[in-house]
Amino acid sequence: MSQINKTTYYTLISPEHRLCDLKLKEVITYRELIVLFASKELRTRYKQTILGPLWLIIAPLMTSIMHMIVFGTIAGIGTEGMPKILFYLAGNSLWEFFSGVFTRCTQTFSGNAHLFGKVYFPRLTVPFSYILLSSFEFSVQFLIIIALCFWFSLHGFSFPYAGWLLIPLLLIWLGLLAMGLGIIVASLTTKYRDLNVLVRFGVQLWMYATPIVYPLSVLKENSLRSWVLINPVTAPAELFRMWVLGVGSISASSVVVSLTLTVISILAGMMIFNRIERSFMDTI
């Protein structure tokens, strides 16, 4: 019989809650669960569909073609000399990643109420698994971008291939930002259901406040530009195109703003999340 080590497995249950305790140690212990949650979602999502995982590619491709027609051709917004399809696909993949993590995280409590009500595990594993899941989806789409880049490089375009190595950093940055904001909203939705409605169209509007369907450079020095620069997703979006395609303009101040907001939102998010998590079963 194994000797029970008191110090290893001691748990204290009490009404008090330390706000600064992020419980990250526990999340690390359950890291396998993060992977399992993500793989479960991937494995079960495409059961009983005809095209299966192909949808991962079809959806952003269709959106990009649509954007190409509406914004590129009809509205005539420039793409900084890049092939239109590549410009829009890059923007859309990144936005899909951000909005995917964000929207999923806002559903953390309402979508898992059944599970949360029956068994304890560190709840933060769920939003982390959403980052992993969206990263995987993004990687698949990134393969298309790589393929297109090679195609266009045969036709006289050149790309900063070394910049591609920095993409994972960008994913972590954007993923944490999306998760931080997402779990703040998730914590609030346990009490205020109407935030769900706000999230649904808010994300769509947010995309237009981010240089996704237009390059930042089309905005002249005016108040509109400074508003777009405050948007924390602007800097990662521009950096992404800069690193992948070699086009874009970015100011140091917007990078600083975005990084600061990322740190604040992820820390505040986890604090609020951990606090709500203790009693949300009573209110949901």
Partner 1 sequence: MDRQIMINAEHLKKRYRLGEIGSTTLQHELQSWWAEKRGREDPNQKIGNDRTGTFYALDDVSFQVHRGETVGLIGANGAGKSTLLKILCRITAPTEGRAELYGRITSMLEIGTGFHGEMTGRENIFMNGAILGMKRSEINDRLEEIIEFSEVRDFIDTPVKRYSSGMYTKLGFSVAAHLDSEIMIMDEVLAVGDAAFQNKCIARMRTAAAEEGRTVLYVSHNMNQIRQLCRRCIVLGHGTLIYDGDTEHAIEHYLGQYRSDKPRKQYSPVRPVWLEDHSMRVQYADYPLKDNVFFYGDESVRVRIGFDVYADIRNLCLRVEIRSANESRIGTYFFYDLCNCLAGESKEITVEWSLSAYTDGTFFAGYTFFTRSENGVNHNLDYVEGLTFLHAESTPSKKLAWESNWGFLELSGGRVIDLRTVEKHGAE
- Among the listed ranges 65-73, 116-124, 204-212, 250-258, the one in contact with partner 1 (CB under 8 A) is 116-124
Please, are residues 187 and 260 in contact by the beta-carbon 8 Å criterion? no
Which is nearest to 228 in space by CA: 247, 253, 196? Answer: 253
- 19 in contact with partner 1 (CB under 8 A): no
Closest CB 125 distance from partner 1, rounded Å = 9
- For the segment 39-58, give every residue that binds partner 1 (CB under 8 A): 40, 43-44, 47
Nearer to partner 1, 114 or 220 (CB): 114
Candidates 23, 30, 209, 259; binder of partner 1 (CB under 8 A) is 30
Q: How many CB atoms lie within 10 A of CB 159?
A: 20
Which is nearest to 62 in space by CA: 93, 39, 41, 83? Answer: 93
CB neighbour list of residue 57: distance below 8 Å, 6 or more residues apart: 140, 141, 144
Amino acid identity of residue 141, one-letter, is Q
Closest CB 198 distance from partner 1, rounded Å = 9
Query: Which residue is it, tokens 């005539």?
Result: 76
CA atoms 177, 182, 185, 187: torsion sign: negative
**Helix axes 195-208 and 84-106, enclosed angle (nearest 10):** 160
What is the SS3 assignment for 252? Answer: helix
Hey, what are 66's tokens? 């649509």
Nearer to partner 1, 12 or 20 (CB): 12
- For the segment 84-113, give every residue that binds partner 1 (CB under 8 A): none
Taking only Cα atoms into account, the Rg of the chain, rounded to an integer number of angstroms, comes to 21
Nearer to partner 1, 22 or 257 (CB): 22
Candidates 25, 118, 155, 220; binder of partner 1 (CB under 8 A) is 118
Nearer to partner 1, 14 or 158 (CB): 14
Q: How far apart are CA 253 and CA 229, in angstroms?
A: 9
Nearer to partner 1, 13 or 205 (CB): 13
Hey, what are 113's tokens? 């109420």
Closest CB 118 distance from partner 1, rounded Å = 4
- 220 in contact with partner 1 (CB under 8 A): no
- Among the listed ranges 71-79, 155-163, 186-194, 236-244, the one in contact with partner 1 (CB under 8 A) is 186-194
- Print the binding letters for residues 188-207 with partner 1: x by CB under 8 A, - otherwise: --xxxxxx------------
How many residues line the site for partner 1 (CB under 8 A)? 38
Residue numbers at the binding site for partner 1 (CB under 8 A):
1, 4, 6, 9-15, 17, 30, 32-33, 36, 40, 43-44, 47, 115-121, 190-195, 278-279, 281-284
